[in-house]
Structure 1
Amino acid sequence: MSDTPRARTAPRKPARPGGQPARAPGLPARRAALRLLDAVVRRGLPLEAALSAATQGIDRPEDRALAHAIAAEALRRLPDLDALIDSATSRPLPDDAKARFVLRIALVQALALGTPGHAAIATVLPLVDGGLRRLVHGVFGNLIRKGVTLPEFPTLLPEVAFRWAEKWGDDFVTAAERAIASPPPLDLTLADPDETAHWEQELGGTSLMPGHVRLYDAGPITSLPGFAEGRWWVQDIAASLPARLLGAGRGKALDLCAAPGGKALQLAAAGWDVVALDRSAGRLARVHENAERMGLSLDIREGDVLRWEPEAPVPAILLDAPCSATGIFRRHPDVLHRVRQRDITEIAELQSAMLARAVDWLQPGGTIIYATCSLEPEEGEQQIEKLLHDRSDLEIVPPRPDELPVGCVSDTPHLRTGPTMLADKGGLDGFFIARLVRKG
């Protein structure tokens, strides 16, 4: 992030009397938000991965949460924030100009997060100095005096809108802009689907299918009834569908790329003898923690799908492959700012290698579920088309209506969820899911 929109020709001037002190109230959270935004937009890091370093030295959880909220909302609204900034400057600020980043943070607070204008600008001015401070203060003041607003639904990044319009149509882009306008509801997967009615009432939520409850105003997760007892875990309903398509347990199931473990827990709760494999020891620690809280038994192993192999063929495999994660843009708007076409192409090659290797581990008559939380056909439809072309011993088995949420319809042999589905009920994350059986 550059400090100025142009080369500095004079030494910095000291702050004027009455300027904000270096430790103004609220400053640490705004400085952390600036670091987060820079980490995502300029350095291409995931927002969650950058959070720890950006908030280092901040002790109060509410300040860390505020920094995250400011950065996430700015990422949701970035094209619209930049359009406002550009409308108030004689020439556009460079994309990496510190003044642009600081203005994004000030404007998103005032226009989207309900922060009073005077507080929004006062808490960011200490992040710049000299001429930049005057520039930021002037641009912000002019825009606020004009009474500018942000659109009801954010504008997608042009490259993302073009890519999705080309692949899925303009209505899909419109639905995506509506979906990213606010964080989605919280979905819970129940350990016992027979308790759906009980937990729907106990938690004050809505169920879209057995074993699921959706909460629209959840509050702290760990304080909800049933958390400590392991009666449910957090999992978007779309993310729960791959394991559901394997049905009730009939022996050993491999959950490949298993962390953080939601699908492995589903399979174990459904009666499968689960081997949960992941290459990351750190992420596997979360699988251990979740399994212990739920009281479910998993055979947890560290290994790479491209090098590891099972002792013998198995009747069931779930490959939730590494992907671009563009399907979870509602929860993680940073993904739209980080993923480029070259990333999609590279990861699609990895998915192909994993899928080709995994199908060889199936018993005759066995089932493999291939899934990605991606909205890119290179990571979904094209993978299955290629696999079926190369392997005559596989056939695709479409999902049945009773295996899907109420109102969720698939008119293809595979399942593609996304922003156009169940929008009136809070929507779904974007997933591609295909169920294939190895012919006996």
Structure 2
Amino acid sequence: MPSTPGLPARRAALKLIDAVLRRGETLEQAEGAAMSGVHAAEDRALARAIATEVLRWLTDLDALIDSATKQNLPYDAKVRSVLRIMLAQALRLGTPPHAVVATGLPLLAGGPRRLAHGVFSTLAKREATLPVVPTLPDRVRARWGERADAIAPGLADPPELDLALRDPSQTDARAAAMGGVSLAPGHVRLPRGTAVEALEGFAEGKWWVQDLAAQTPARLLGEGEGRHVLDLCAAPGGKTLALAAAGWKVTALDISKRRLDLLKANLRRTGLAASPLRADALTWEPKHRFDAILLDAPCTATGTCRRHPDVLHRIGRGQIAEMVELQRALITRAADWLAPGGRLVYAVCSLEEEEGEAQARWIGETLGLDPVPVAAAELPAGLAPTGEGHVRTHPGLLAEAGGLDGFFVSRWVRP
């Protein structure tokens, strides 16, 4: 019997959601198994889109489901996840109700199809809607406190496409030619859904994809003028490219061969020079000290929740504590590798205070480094440093221009 058109994509989406919510996997980790048998690019993209929208709006989707049942379904019940998929398509992706039903109910073969059909029909008759802003999970709100209300509006939609330019002097010309907008020198933003490889300048290496907030750490080291910089935890390479373009002699260290291969490919495409090195930063020893070190440290990555909403449901106190310990070990080693007068930029794409502000206090108290406050003029228009001179971004900032990822960045100098 032939499969219902579109059913494999919905089945893959169900597997992705299950992997995140039941096993704590990232969407990226789950894709291999979930997408097996889904070969068409458009079906794979649809599966990712459905799963992402479910995870982005999970709390609100569950509230709608609960409003249409006499007894709340178990959180991990398959019928609940199927209803989440059905509602996300109808309310977020504009899928016609008949297509939602035709591709949703077969996911419950041998299960409570009548229940799912009834709940979906009830909500459709009510003309149920989602709120303008997603409701964050309780444990996330508990961690982020009053910042949660400012962050949440930035999570309503997937992010647009940010490019970092190899030659910042071409910002205005390239933005005009590509039909984009610029929020800072060397930056161009394009509508999401743009096919990256088809864009003008891709093959020539005129730019690389990098969120606006992620471009900030390298910018804070300024022009290299031939000096030596270590990009610690460098892959997939956006920071290395920015540093090389700014005239630094870059040693780009990373432990992952796969990610380091991406970095090397980006170097070839852009024609920029750096020295990639595969090693474990916790055991590697440099042959000389560095004029600057950029440590974009491993972290919980909760600041990337606009594009990776699975982090809203996977990350808890245990993962945060593990990352804090690893970050301190890396910061300590990096501080020892600085030449006198050398600068360290510490960054994390995390919204957790423990990985950001608390780490900055720890650096100042224990490592003998002096802070180098960031000035407002060093940041994109509309952003400002914290009172301590650090940088704290979150998805709700610059919302009228499309927002940006959540980052914490601090800058230090070896006396």
For normalisation by structure 2, the TM-score amounts to: 0.97
The answer for the alignment partner of 1:358 in structure 2 is 334
3-state SS of paired residue (2:112): helix
* Structure 1 segments unaligned to the other structure (5+ residues): 1-20
Match of 1:107 in 2: 87
* Change over 3 Å in CA distance of 1:217–1:329 after alignment to 2: closer
Aligned to 1:14: none
Measure, in 2, the Cα distance between the counterparts of 1:342 and 1:263. Answer: 28
141, 147, 163: which one aligns with 2:127: 147
Q: How far 1:400 moved relative to its partner?
A: 2.1
How far the C-alpha of 1:215 sits from its partner, in A, is 1.4
The reply on whether 1:404 has 2:379 as its aligned counterpart is yes
Residue 272 of structure 1 and its aligned partner are, at CA, apart by: 0.7
> In the alignment, what sits opposite 1:125?
105
Q: 1:224 Cα shift?
A: 0.8
| Alignment partner, residue 195 of structure 1 | 170
Query: Aligned partners of 2:111 and 2:268: how far apart in 1?
Result: 56
**Residues 22 and 126 of structure 1 are in contact (CA less than 8 Å); yes or no, is this contact kept in structure 2?**
no
Partners of 1:417 and 1:431 within 8 A in 2: yes
* Alpha-carbon shift at residue 434 of structure 1 (Å): 0.6
Alpha-carbon distance between aligned partners in 2 of 1:284 and 1:381, rounded to the nearest angstrom: 29
Task: Give the 3-state SS of the residue equivalent to 2:413 in structure 1.
Answer: strand
Which protein shows a greater Rg? 1
Q: What is the identity, as a one-letter code, of the residue corresponding to 2:64?
A: L
Contact 2:155–2:395 (CA<8 Å) still a contact in 1?
no
In the TM superposition, what are the counterparts of 1:245-264 in structure 2 within 5 Å? Answer: 245-250=220-225, 251-264=227-240
- Superposed CA RMSD: 1.2
Shift of 1:398: 1.1
- Map 1:80-119 to 2 at 5 A: 80-119=60-99
- Give the % identical residues: 56
Deviations 1:376-403 (A, max 9, x none): 11101111211211133x1111112221
The residue number in structure 1 matching 2:412 is 436
Letter in 1 for 2:236: P
Q: Partner letter of residue 221 of structure 1?
A: V
Q: Deviations over 1:398-417 (max 9, x none)?
A: 11222110121113221111
| In structure 2, C-alpha distance between the alignment counterparts of 1:147 and 1:188, rounded to whole Å | 39
**CA positional deviation for 1:175:** 2.5
- Please tell me whether residue 37 in structure 1 is matched to residue 17 in structure 2: yes
Give the Cα–Cα distance (whole angstroms) in 2 for the partners of residues 259 and 416 of structure 1: 22
Residue in structure 2 matched with residue 214 of structure 1 by the alignment: 189
SS at match of 2:235: coil
Q: Distance in 2 between matches of 1:344 and 1:363?
A: 31
What residue number does 1:375 align with? Answer: 351
- Tell me which moved more, 412-421 or 307-316: 412-421
Measured after TM superposition, the shift of residue 22 of structure 1 is 6.3
What's 1:278 paired with? Answer: 254
Matched, 1:184 2:159: yes
Shift of 1:205: 1.0
SS at match of 2:28: helix
Offset at residue 86 of structure 1 (A)? 1.2
TM-superposed deviation, 1:220:
0.8
| 1:159-189 deviation digits (Å, cap 9, x = unpaired) | 1112111xxx2xx322322111001121110
Instruction: Tell which deviates more after alignment, 341-350 or 52-61.
Output: 52-61
Separation of aligned partners in 1, 2:139 and 2:305 = 15
User: Where in structure 2 are there 5+ consecutive unaligned residues?
Assistant: none
CA–CA distance in 1 between the matches of 2:383 and 2:276? Answer: 33
Contact preservation (8 Å) 2:170, 2:186: yes
Report the Cα distance in structure 1 between the residues aligned to 2:2 and 2:77, rounded to whole angstroms.
21
Moved more, 196-205 or 140-149: 140-149
Q: Using the alignment, how far apart are the partners of 1:415 and 1:146 within structure 2?
A: 45
Deviation track 1:332-365 (CA, whole Å, cap 9, x = no partner) reads 1111111001111111011011101110000000
Amino acid at match of 2:43: D
Instruction: Tell me the secondary structure at the aligned position of residue 198 of structure 1.
Output: helix
SS in 1 for 2:345: strand
Does residue 1:72 correspond to 2:52, yes or no? yes
Deviates more, 1:411-420 or 1:326-335: 411-420
Partner of 1:157: 137
Contact 2:153–2:396 (Cα < 8 Å) also in 1? no
Structure 2 counterpart of 1:242: 217
Contact 2:306/2:395 (8 A) holds in 1: no
Range moving further from structure 2, 70-79 or 128-137? 128-137
CA distance 1:201–1:268, change in 2 (3 Å): same
Contact 2:159 2:192 in 1 (8 A): no
Residue deviations 1:120-164 (CA, integer Å, cap 9, x gap): 011011111235112211211122122211112111111111211
Query: Match of 2:29?
Result: 49
The count of corresponding residues between Structure 1 and Structure 2 is 413
> Deviations for 1:102-137, whole angstroms, at most 9, x for unmatched residues?
111011111111001111011011111235112211
> 3-state SS of the aligned residue for 2:32?
helix
Provide the TM-score with structure 1 as the length reference. 0.92
